[in-house]
Amino acid sequence: MISRQAECCFWMHRQVERAENAARLLAVNRSFILDVAQPEAQQWWPIVVVTGEQERIRTVLGDDAATQGDAIQDYLTWNPDNPVSIYSSIRWARENARTVREVISLEMWETINGFWHWLTRGQGRRLYNEDVDAFYRRVRDLGSTFSGTCHNTMLHEDPFDFMRLGMLLERAGWTARILDVKHHMLGPMEDNGPASPLESAHAMALLRSCSATEPFFKQVQHAPTPRVVVGFLLFAGNFPRSLLHCLDRAMNFLRRVRPESGRTGARSMALLGDLLDDTNSLSLETVFERGLHTELTRIIDSIAKVCDAVSADYFHPDIGQLTAGGQQTQSQSQG
Amino acid sequence: MASDSESNNDGGGLFEGYQPLAGAFDEFCAMDGSPRPEAVRVVERLDDLGRRAFMERQRLADGSFLKAGVTFSVYSDRGGVERIFPFDLVPRIVDGAAWDRLEAGLIQRVTALNLFLQDMYGEQRILAEGKVPREIALGSSGYLEAMHGIQPPHGVYIHVCGVDLVRDPNGEFLVLEDNARSPSGVSYVLENRTMMKRILPRVFSESRVRSVDAYPARLLSAFNELAPEPRERPRVVVLSPGPFNSAYFEHSFLARRMGCDLVLPDDLFVHDDEVFVKTTHGPTRVDVIYRRIDDAFLDPEVFRPDSMLGVRGLIRAYRAGNVTIANAFGNGVCDDKAIYPYVPEMIRFYMSEEPIVQQVPTLICAEQDALEQVLADLGNYVVKAVDASGGYGMLVGPTSTKEQIEEFRARLKENPRGYIAQPLIELSTCPTWTSSGLSPRRVDLRPYVITGRETWVLPGGLTRVALREGSYVVNSSQGGGSKDTWVLEPDSQEDSP
C-alpha cells in the first residue's frame, strides 16, 4: 500500500488506543483517590507523568499544577494544545481517518466521525460536566467499537495490519508506563507475603488501569500482591493488554506487512524481534534483580525505537535507495 | 429507514400558495402557479407528504450528511471549517426529451473544445484563419507553451468537463461557462442521489429518474482506455492537494468509488521519466493520474521553480508518453472566459455544424468598442474576471451598490483584457425550502461530460441553488446549496414500441 496511507492507518488506530487508555487511567484514578487517602499533590501528578506532560502542564497551570486535580483532568481530557489529550487524540485519529477515507471502511469512518461530532458539538462536554465517569466510559467504548469495527469490516491485509501494529505498540507502551509510574508506590517487591491495605489498593488500581481485574482473578487466583500483578501485566501471554501479548501480536502484524523478498523492513523486524525475545526470556526474578524501573525504561525506549524503525522502513522510505534497488521498477538501469 | 409511503398531509400541502418569481422561468410551475406537465407527478407526491413530514426529512438529510462526512471546507481567518453543502430536498427536474437535446449539444461542445486544444498546441489553424484573435488566445493565462508538440493519448485533453448552464426566461438552456481544467462537484450529485433514495423513496420510485450510478465506472473506463500503452490493469491514481483542500471529500470519494488509490504530490516521484508511487513494498509504476491540482502546482520544473509543491519531472514523463494525465495541462486556454465567446465559431470551424446549445452573448472588454459600451452602462452588466471562478472577482451590476460599481469601473479601466461582460440573465428558479415554506430560488446546472475513446454525459448533473432571496450567485463558497437533478423518463405509455 501507499506509504503515506500506511502511516495514517498506523496512527489512526494508535490515537484511538491512546484516547481509550487515557480515559481508563483517568477514570481509575478518580475512584482510587476516593479509596485511598493521599496528599493532594500525589493524587493526580502520577497520571501526568504517565502521559509525559509534566513540563507543558506547568506552563499552563503554574508551579502548583500538581494540586489542581480538576484542572489536570480537564487538561488531559480537553486541552487542544496538549498533543496527547483525549480531545487531541480523537481529533488526529479522525483527521487521519478522513485523510485515508478511501482506505478504511464506511463503518470505521462513521464510528470515528460520529464520535468526533459527539465530542465537539456539545453533547460530550455536557456529559463530562454531568457525569464524568460516564464520559470516560464513552471514550473507552469508542476504543472497543472502533477496534471491533476495524476487525469486522476491513479486509485483513496491509491497511488493517498497519492499524493493528500501531494500536498494539501504543498499548504495549501504556502498560509499561502505567507500571513504571505505579512501581514506587507498590512497596517492596521481594516480599512474597501478604500485601498491606495500601499496597493492595495500588495493585487493584493497577489492574483496573489495564482492564485486567477479572482476567487476573480468573487466571491467577491469588490475592493481588504487587509482585504477582506486575508479573501478570508483563508476562500473561493470553491477556490482551500484557506487554508480552502486545509485542507478540505486533510481531505477527509486522511479519505480515513485510514484502516477501528484499531488504525492506529488515530493521524494524530485527528490533522488534530482539525486544520480543528479551521479554520472552525475562523472568520476574531478573526484572526485580535489575530493578523494575530500569527494565521498564529499557522496554519503553525499545518500543520507541521500533516505532521509529517502522516509520523509516515503511512510511518514509529512502527513494534513492529504492530506485537503485529497483524492485518493481522497470527502469533502464535494470537492463 | 424513512418511509414516505403513507399520505400524511400534516401541516398543509407543500406547494400550497407557491408563487413563481415574476420575470423568471420556474422549473416546476407556469406563471399561474399550475405545475408543468413534467412536474405534475413530483408535485403531487411532495404535496402528499405534507409540510411537517417534509421538514422532518430535511432534518434527517442534514444529519446524515454530517455523519457521513459529506462536507467541504470553507477558508476563513481561523483556518478551515468543515460544513455540509446545504442540500434542498425538492429535486430539480428536467424533462427527458429536453435533456436528450442538451446532451447532444454538450457532446458537440466538448468535442469542439477538445479539437481547439489539439489545434492550439499543434498547427494553430484557427488563429491562422482569424476565427479566434491570436492575441486573446496566446495571451490567455491558461495557454501553456510547454504543451506544444505533446500528443496526449488519443488526442484527449478534456477527460472530464463541467459545463455550467443556466435557463433564460423562455426556458432555453444557455451555456454560461466551461470548466475544462478540474471541475468539481460530481460527488455531491452521487451523494445527493443516495440521500434522496433513502429519504424520499416513494417520490423517487414513482418518478422514473435516470440513474447516475454509472459515473465512477465510466470515469475509470475512460482512464483505462487512455492509459499510455495497453496494460492489463493500468494503475490509476487520483492526485489531490491534500486533506486541507476544500474538495478533498470529493477526491477521496472518487478514489473509493473507482477502487483506486488517492495520492498526494509527495507520494509520487519521477525516475527515468517514469512516474512511481511510494508504497510499503517499494516504488510502483503509475500509468494514469487523475489530477485535481491546478497546473501551477503540478511540476516545479516547469511551472514554479520556487515551489516545493508538485511532482518534479512530471511533465518530462508526460512528454515521454509514459503517463496519462487527466485533464491534460494547458486546458485553461479553452475555458478562459475571453475565449468563451468564440466557442460557437469553433464548432462551425472544426465540425462544420451549428451549435445545438446556445450561449450567453458576451462582450470582450479587451475590445475598445465593447469596453466603452460596458463602461457606459456598467450597472446593467455582469462583469467577470476571465481567469477567476467560484463566483469570485465578479460584479453583478443590477444588484450592486454604487460604490461597488465604481470600484469595479476602476479595475476594468486598468485591465480591460482581464474582464468580459454579459447581460444579466434572469436565471430560472426552482421551488426551494425556506423558513417560510417553498419559495422560488435561482438555480444553475452543471452536467459532467466524460471523454475516453468516446464522450458520455452524466444524466442530470449538479444543480446549485442561490439560497438567499433575490441572489444570483449559486457558488457553495457564497451561500449556495445544491439539489438532486432528476432527468425524467417520459410517461410509461410512450414506452411500448
The model's pLDDT over B369-384, given as tens digits with 9 standing for 90+, comes to 999 999 999 999 999 9
Q: Where are the alpha helices (DSSP H) in chain A?
A: 3-35, 40-43, 45-51, 54-61, 69-78, 86-99, 106-120, 123-130, 132-153, 158-183, 197-209, 213-220, 226-235, 243-257, 266-281, 284-290, 292-310, 319-325
The model's confidence at residue A333, banded by pLDDT at 50, 70 and 90, is very low
Residues B74-85 have a mean pLDDT of: 61
For the stretch A4-25, pLDDT in tens is 999 999 999 999 999 999 999 9
pLDDT band at B458 (very low <50, low <70, confident <90, very high): very high
- Please provide residue B9's backbone torsions phi and psi, each rounded to the nearest 5 degrees: -80, 50
Does B72 reach chain A within 8 Å, measured CB to CB?
no
**Mean pLDDT on B162-183:** 95
**Closest residue in A to B245 (Cα–Cα):** A99
**How far is residue B181's CA from residue B387's CA, in Å, rounded to a whole number?**
12
Q: pLDDT by residue (tens digit) across B219-234?
A: 999 999 999 976 778 9
**Contact by Cβ (8 Å): B74, B83:** yes
Neighbours of B309 (CB within 10 A): 18
Highest mean pLDDT, choosing among A175-179, B56-60, B220-224, B306-310: B220-224
Tell me the C-alpha distance between B327 and B340, whole Å: 19
Q: Which three cell numbers stand for residue A250?
A: 505486533
pLDDT of residue A334: 30
| pLDDT band, very low/low/confident/very high, at A335 (cuts 50, 70, 90) | very low
- Distant-in-sequence, close-in-space partners of B221: CB < 8 Å, separation ≥ 6: B452
A236 to chain B, closest Cα gap in Å: 32
Cβ atoms of A299 and A169 within 8 Å: the answer is no
Interface test with B, best of A11, A99, A120 (most B CBs within 10 A): A99
Which of B118, B37, B62, B176 shows the shortest CA–CA distance to B328? Answer: B118
Q: Which of residues 191-250 of B touch A (CB under 8 A)?
A: 242-243, 248-249
- Which parts of A189-265 fold into alpha helices (H)? 197-209, 213-220, 226-235, 243-257
Main-chain dihedrals φ then ψ at residue A318, nearest 5 degrees: -80, 110
The grid cell for A239 is 491477556
Q: What pLDDT does A33 receive?
A: 87
What per-residue confidence (pLDDT) applies to B388? 66
Q: Is A7 on the interface with B (CB under 8 A)?
A: no
From A16's Cα to the closest Cα of chain B, the distance in A is: 18
CB contact, 8 Å: A237 with chain B? Answer: no
User: Quick one: pLDDT at residue B200?
Assistant: 92
Residue A89, classed as helix, strand or coil, is helix
Q: Bigger pLDDT: B392 or B102? A: B102
**Residues in contact with B42: Cβ distance below 8 Å, sequence separation at least 6, in sequence order:** B28, B91, B93, B203, B207, B486
Among left, alpha and beta (phi > 0; psi -120 to 50; other), residue B422 is: beta
Backbone angles phi, psi at A68, to 5 degrees: -100, 75
In the predicted model, what is the mean pLDDT of chain A? 90
The region of weakest confidence among A82-86, B93-97, B388-392 is B388-392
Q: Determine what percent of chain B is predicted with pLDDT higher than 70.
A: 93
Neighbours of B420 (CB within 10 A): 28
- The answer to whether residue B67 scores a pLDDT higher than 90 is no
Q: Does A151 touch chain B (CB under 8 A)?
A: no
Amino acid B485: pLDDT: 97
Tell me the pLDDT band of B3, cut-offs 50, 70 and 90.
Answer: very low
CA atoms within 13 A on the CB side of B484: 25
- The confidence score (pLDDT) of residue B77 equals 43
| Partner-chain contact B283 A110, CB within 8 Å | no
What's the pLDDT score for residue A193?
A: 66
- DSSP-derived 3-state class of residue A7: helix
State how far residue A328 is from chain B, nearest Cα, in angstroms: 6
Lowest mean pLDDT among A60-74, B74-88, B366-380: B74-88
Going by pLDDT thresholds of 50, 70 and 90, the confidence category of residue B482 is: very high
pLDDT band with cut points at 50, 70 and 90 for residue B1: very low
**pLDDT number for residue A190:** 59
- CA angle at A103 for the pair A101 and A106, rounded to the nearest 5°: 60
Question: B208-213: long-range contacts (C-beta < 8 A, 24 or more apart)?
Answer: B208/B488, B208/B489, B208/B491, B208/B492, B209/B486, B209/B487, B209/B488, B209/B489, B210/B96, B210/B99, B210/B459, B210/B460, B210/B486, B210/B487, B210/B488, B210/B489, B211/B459, B212/B458, B212/B459, B212/B460
Mean pLDDT of chain B: 89
pLDDT given for residue B353 in this prediction = 97
What pLDDT is recorded for position B382?
A: 92
What distances in angstroms separate CA B186 from CA B253, B267, B295, B463, one per listed residue?
10, 25, 20, 10
CA distance B469 to chain A (A): 29
Please give the ipTM for the structure prediction: 0.85
- The answer, yes or no, to whether residue B153 has pLDDT greater than 70, is yes
Give the pLDDT of residue B6.
46
Backbone torsion region of residue B92, taken as left when φ is above 0, otherwise alpha when ψ lies between -120 and 50, otherwise beta: beta
Give the residue, A37 or B91, on which the prediction is more confident: B91
| Contact residues for A122 (Cβ-Cβ < 8 A; gap 6+) | none
- Cα-based torsion angle of the residue sequence B204, B207, B213, B219 in order, rounded to the nearest 10 degrees: -140
Work out the pLDDT band at B496, boundaries 50, 70, 90. Answer: very low
Distance CA A310, CA A266 (A): 10
Q: Is the pLDDT of residue A326 over 50?
A: no
Cell numbers placing A145: 467499537
Phi-psi region of B393 (alpha: psi -120 to 50; beta: other; left: phi over 0): left
Within 8 A of A332 by CB-CB distance, chain B residues are 272
Strand-pairing partners, residue B395, are B383
pLDDT digits (tens, 9 = 90+) for B246-277: 889 999 999 999 999 999 999 999 999 999 99
End-to-end distance of chain B based on CA atoms, in angstroms? Answer: 37
- The answer, for B266 touching chain A at a CB cutoff of 8 Å, is yes
Q: Answer yes or no: is pLDDT of A321 > 90.
A: no
CA-based nearest residue in chain B for residue A312: B280
Cell 476594468 belongs to B412
Quickly count: other Cβ atoms within 10 Å of residue B415's Cβ: 12
Q: Which residues pair with B35 in a beta bridge?
A: B29
